[in-house]
A and B are shown apart, each in its own frame.
Chain A
Amino acid sequence: MKTDIILAGVGGQGILTIAATIGTAALQNNLHIKQSEVHGMSQRGGDVQSHLRISDKPIASDLIGNGSADIIIAVEPMEGLRYLPFLSKNGWLVTNSTPFINISNYPDNQDITNEIKSIKNHIIIDADAMAKEIKASRSSNIVVLGAASPFLNIKFEDLEKAIRTIFERKGEEIVNINLKALKLGREFAETQM
C-alpha cells in the first residue's frame, strides 16, 4: 500500500498542518513517510506545495514523479490545478472552492470551476463556508482534509487521533472544533463519491 499526496495552497493557508496530521497518523500506524515542503522565499504570499508519501515499504524519493500522485489536496482552487501534471489518470483532486486572490490577474472563478469539473475524479468543497458555519473559520484546511480522507488509505479514526495529537497543546476546545471540521468534510465527500 502506497499513497502519494500533493498538498497545494498559498503560504499561510495551513497545508503544513494537513501534512502534519496525515504524517502523524501514518507514523502512529508504523508506516514509512517522506514529506517534502517549501520553506523560505515562497512563503511570502506565493504558491506553496508539499509532497507527502506514505507506504508500508521504505520510500526512495522525497519527490513524487509526474503522473503518479494518487490525490491532490488543495486549499485553494487555482493552486490545485497548478499541480495537475503530477496527478495520475485515476487520481483525485479534492479542492476548496474559495479563491485566495492576492494577484491582479487572478482568473475568472467560473472558468476555474469548469476546469476542475473536467477532471475525472474531483471533489469541490466550500470549506470556508462550512468552517464558518461551525464557528471555526481557521479550520477550513481541516475541512478540506476531511473531504480528502476517503482517499488516503488511512482509517478515519486514525486521522481523528492525529488531530488530537497535533492540537493537544492548544486545548480541548480547539481539538473538538477541528474534529468537527474533519467530520464535516468527510460527510460532504461521502455525498460526492
Chain B
Amino acid sequence: MQKILLLGAEAIAQGAIDGGLSGVYAYPGTPSTEITEYIQRDKTAIEKNIHSKWSSNEKTAMEAAIGMSYAGKRAMVCMKHVGLNVAADAFVNSAITGVNGGLIVTVADDPSMHSSQNEQDSRFYAKFAMIPILEPSNQQEAYEMAYKGFELSEKFKVPVLLRITTRLSHSRSGISRFDLIEQNKNSLPGDPRQFVLLPSIARKRYKGLLSNQINFEIDSEASEFNKYTDGKDKSLGIIACGLALNYLNENYVDTEVPYPVLKIGQYPLPRKLIEKIFNQCEEILVLEEGAPIVEESLKGYLEKEKVKGRLDGTLPRDGELNPNIVGKALGFKQEETQNIPELVAGRPPAMCVGCGHIDAYIALNEAIAEFGAGRVFADIGCYTLGALEPYNAINSCVDMGASITMAKGAADAGLIPAVAVIGDSTFTHSGITGLLDAVSENSPITIIISDNFTTGMTGQQDSKALGKIEDICKGVGVDPEHIIVMNPTKKNHDEMVRVLKEEMAYNGVSVVIPRRQCIQTLTNKNLTQKLRELNLR
C-alpha cells in the first residue's frame, strides 16, 4: 500500500480506526484536536458509525469512553494535557475499575507552552494511576501504538495512556497502514461488580492493579517499542524517550551513535534493559520531552547514580528539546548562527478584525472605569487576548471555568462588583456549576458570556452552548430580568455601556450575553443552517 502523509495526530486517528475503534470522545484542545476532527470526516469511520461527536468537557468524554469500554467496545478519549486535570477523577478511577473493551487515553502535552497555560507532563498521571504508557517517537509509531494499544489494554484489562507532544502531533510524515480490524461485539464485563467502586470492592481491585504492575513491566521488557542498541563507547549510555530519540539521531546523520542507546516507547520502564545500560556504561544521559520523570526515578533521592539530564543542567529544566539542545548536551560544538535583526518586531496573536469580543471589551472598559481597575476575571478562549494591548481588559485566566468562581470568591472578599468574562463553549465546559454556586449565595457579580456560537480558539468546533445559554442560566436560577442579550457592535456601544453599568450596580447575579457570530465561521454552511433553525440569524 502507498504511504499516506499524515500529521502525528491524524496518524493516531487512523491507527485507532484501523485498530477496531467504536467511539472517540473528546473536547477540543491544541495540540490534540486534529485526532477527533480526522475521525469526524473519515469515510470509513462514518460508514462504520464510529462515534465522534464532541463532548462537553474532558471529564464527560472520559466517562463516556469508560461506558463504551464497559459495554465491550474499543474506545479512545483525546484531550490536551490540562484536560487530563479536568478528567483526572474518572481517569485515576478507571485504572481501578479496569476495562472491558480496550480503552486508550490519548493526551497531547505542550512543552514550551505553544498554546497552553502550563507544560505539565501527562506521564505523571499514568504513573500515579499505575497504568502502562505508550510514547511514540515518530508518526509511524503513533499509528502503530494507537492500533495495538487496544490489544494491550484488553490484555491487561486496564486503560492505556498514549502520550504525545505538540511537535509530533503537528508534524506530517508518510504512514504505512495495517489491515482494518473489525469492531468488538457488545459484551458485559465478566465480573458484574468490576465497575462498582464501593470501598470493599475497590480495595480488591486495587490489590489486583498492584499485583499486575510486574506484568506491565515484563510486557515493557519484551515490547517492540523499547529497543536497546549497542555502541562501542561505554563512557556514556543514552536513554531516549519518545520524540527525543530523533534529536539524538539528528546529531549523527552520517554516522552511528557511538554510545549504547535505550529507546523508550512503553512504560513502566523496562527494568532489565535499564539495568543493562547502567551496568555497561559509566554515565547515563536521559533525553525526555517534558518533565524529568525518568531521570528522577533513576537518580534516586540521594543522587548516587551518575545520571545526567534536565536536573543537573546538562539539558534545560523546562521547554521543548531540539537537535541543538541535545547536540550541546552530547558535547558537539554549536555553529555560530546569524542573528535575528534587531528591527524584527514581535507579532503576537490577536483577536480578528470584526470580532465581537472586541466591541464587548471596549464597552466593558468604559463601563467599569467608575468602579476602578483589577476586577475582571476572564477565562480561556480567544477573548483571553483581551489581556493584551490595546485592551488590557482582564485580570485573570487560570483554568476553564475559573472566571465565574474567581469573581465569586473576590466578591466574597469584598471586591464588589466583580466581573466574569467567559466564552460560550467554556461556559458549558465548566462554567455552569460555578454559576450555581454564585446563584445559591446571590453573589454580586456580573457575568459576561461572550457568545460567538463556536469554540473559536481551537479552530471553530461546535459549541454545546448553541441556543441554550439563556435557558441554562434561568434553569440554574438566575433572575430572568438580569439575563440580558446584546449585539456587540459599534452602533450599540452606548447601550452596552449603560446596561453593563446598571448590571454591575445590581446587588446579585447578572448575566450579560454579547452575541455575535465568530467571523471565522461565516462560511460554515452547517452552522448557518443551525443558526437559522434557532432563529439566531
Contact = CB atoms under 8 A, between A and B. Distances in A.
Contacts of B167: 36, 62-63
A119 B337 CA distance: 13
Contacts of A119: 338
Contacts of A84: 337-341
A47 interface: yes
B5 A62 contact: no
Given A44-B382, A63-B322, A102-B347, A82 B172 contact: no
Nearest to A79: B347
Interface in B441-490: 457-459
Given A27-B3, A39-B31, A111 B340 contact: no
Interface in A105-123: 105-108, 111-112, 115, 119
Nearest to B80: A40
Nearest to A46: B349
Interface string A86-101: 1100000000000000
A37 B351 contact: no
A23 interface: yes
Interface in B114-153: 114-115
Contact of B347 (A10, A32, A40, A41): A10
Contact of A61 (B5, B249, B344, B350): B249
B170 A43 contact: no
Contacts of A41: 30, 114-115, 349, 457
Nearest to B336: A67
A34 interface: yes
A39 B5 contact: no
A24 B245 CA distance: 26
Given A40-B30, A44-B385, A45-B352, A61 B246 contact: yes
A66 B324 contact: yes
Interface residues of A, number: 49
B348 interface: yes
A47 B346 CA distance: 8
Contacts of B250: 60-61, 65
Contacts of A86: 337
A43 B349 contact: yes
A42 interface: yes
A95 to B, nearest CB: 13
B30 A39 contact: yes
Nearest to B139: A34
Interface string B201-226: 00000000000000000000000000
Interface in B317-335: 322-324, 327, 334-335
B347 A47 contact: yes
A103 interface: yes
A155 B172 CA distance: 22
A37 B171 contact: yes
A125 interface: no
A175 interface: no
B339 A85 contact: yes
Given A39-B170, A60-B253, A85-B340, A65 B324 contact: yes
Contacts of B173: 32-35, 59, 62
B192 to A, nearest CB: 44
Contacts of A24: 5
Contact of A65 (B31, B172, B327): B327
Contacts of B337: 66-67, 84-87
Interface in B338-393: 338-341, 343-352, 382, 385
A107 B345 contact: yes
B172 A39 contact: no
Contacts of B105: none
A118 to B, nearest CB: 9
Nearest to B4: A27
Contact of B350 (A23, A27, A45, A106): A45
B246 A62 contact: yes
Contact of B114 (A11, A35, A38, A65): A38
B27 to A, nearest CB: 14
A115 B246 contact: no
Given A38-B170, A40-B458, A103-B345, A65 B323 contact: yes
Contacts of B288: none
Contacts of A78: 343-345, 347
A66 B250 CA distance: 12
Contact of A81 (B249, B344, B459): B344
A33 B344 contact: no
Contacts of A36: 167, 170-172
Interface string B20-36: 00000000001101100
Given A36-B171, A41-B114, A65-B327, A81 B349 contact: no
22 contacts: A23-B172, A32-B173, A33-B173, A35-B171, A35-B172, A37-B170, A40-B114, A41-B30, A41-B115, A42-B349, A59-B173, A60-B247, A60-B249, A62-B167, A62-B243, A63-B323, A78-B344, A78-B347, A82-B344, A87-B337, A107-B343, A108-B343
Interface of B: 3, 5, 30-31, 33-34, 114-115, 167-168, 170-174, 243, 245-250, 253, 322-324, 327, 334-341, 343-352, 382, 385, 457-459
Given A39-B31, A46-B348, A102-B350, 15 more contacts: A27-B3, A33-B172, A36-B167, A40-B458, A41-B349, A41-B457, A43-B349, A60-B245, A61-B250, A66-B324, A66-B335, A78-B343, A85-B337, A103-B346, A112-B343
3 nearest A-B residue pairs (beta carbon): A40-B30, A41-B115, A36-B171
